[in-house]
Amino acid sequence: MREEMRRDDRVFVMGEDIGARGGVFLATEGFLQEFGERRVIDTPLAESSIAAIALGAAMHGMRPIAEIEFADFIWPTINQMVGEAARVRYGTNGKMSVPMVLRAPQGGGVRGALYHSQSVEAFFAHTPGLKVVTPATPYDAKGLLKSAIRDEDPVVFLEHKRTYRLVRGYVPDEEYTIPIGRADVKLEGQDLSVVTYGLMLHHCIEAARALESEGISVEVVDLRTVRPIDRETVIESVRKTGKALIVHEDTKAGGIGAEVAGIIGEDAFEYLDGPVTRLAGPEVPPMPFAPTLEAEFMLSTDKISAAIRRLAAY
């Protein structure tokens, strides 16, 4: 974000506690000092207005990065994002667009319980006109965030908050971007494709590496963007392996896994050698508070390994 703000003075950040405090996860630490309060704006606790101001600014040529402190508080922005931002390009016959980014940390496994654990990607991914990015690695996060900021259309950028401190990875200093809508084969394999994104990528890779010793060769596809989904990469992988396991932390019904399974069913049916399988969160409204129940709700390397073994043996 800092690089983009230095590069393009239309870019500004706004959100709760992002200025003086540097953001609840310190994503904008030092921004206020470097860019000043005109470009680093602390907002009231009113998410609908954060999204609405960003929307208006974007329609008038600015490139706002609006932060929702936790994705759990994103619901008041639905009207602005789904009802308005997504439709501006179509509604103005292409005359106007909304080059805004709505950033939000999401996901569970952090003892955040009901109001600090939600996964919200599927709600936005359903909406044509929005792009929804779910990076899993530090390298991808930088490249994708730059692309999101430079994109002419609204992008919902969802960072898993557990990856902030759980994942360390290489990030080059130099300038690079990663195109939105392009999946990445993070691990090549022959027997089975695991399609995933976000935090779960890391558990999938851990499981895949452990299962190598059992003779199961797993290909791990990181979607990186859940709208639009990179059909080609998914199909190519499943055509090669014949089996697909889709893994996400979000609950199963109507989730990203359903969409990926649909794509595979449509375009890779003749290549399937096993049931397209989803491993996802349980059909429970919120993340529980009790640590034991939270552990039950969250997927883990063990759960993923077991699912891979089952499908590989099929």
Residue 252 found at the interface with other proteins (CB under 8 A): no
Active site residue 160: no
Q: Is the dihedral of CA 30, 31, 32, 36 positive or negative?
A: positive
Token readout for 212 is 């190598």
Sole window of 34-42, 82-90, 121-129, 291-299 interacting with other proteins (rule: CB under 8 A): 291-299
Q: How many whole angstroms separate alpha carbon 4 and alpha carbon 12?
A: 9
Catalytic residue among 60, 116, 126, 203: 116
264-286: burial string, b at 16+ Cβ within 10 Å, e else:
beebbeeebebebbbbbbeeeee
How many residues bind to other proteins according to rule CB under 8 A? 56
Residue 133 found at the interface with other proteins (CB under 8 A): no
- The set of residues, in sequence order, having a beta carbon less than 8 Å from that of 74 and lying 6+ positions away, is 47, 68, 102, 104, 120
Residue 47 found at the interface with other proteins (CB under 8 A): no
Among 45, 83, 209, 266, binds other proteins (CB under 8 A): 209
Q: Binding to other proteins (CB under 8 A): which residues in 257-286?
A: 269-274
Residue 59 found at the interface with other proteins (CB under 8 A): no
The smaller minimum CB distance to other proteins, of residues 131 and 202, is found at: 202
Residue 169 found at the interface with other proteins (CB under 8 A): yes
Residue 76, preceding bond cis, omega within 30 degrees? no
Among 76, 242, 281, 286, binds other proteins (CB under 8 A): 242
- The set of residues, in sequence order, having a beta carbon less than 8 Å from that of 83 and lying 6+ positions away, is none
Half-sphere exposure of 110 (CA within 13 A, CB side): 19
Residue 37 found at the interface with other proteins (CB under 8 A): no
The Cα-based distances of 232 to 5, 221, 225, 237 in angstroms read: 33, 11, 13, 8
Chain positions contacting other proteins, by CB under 8 A: 24-25, 109-113, 116, 136-140, 161-162, 164-170, 186, 191, 201-203, 205-207, 209-211, 242-243, 269-274, 291, 294-296, 298, 300-303, 305-306, 309-310, 313-314
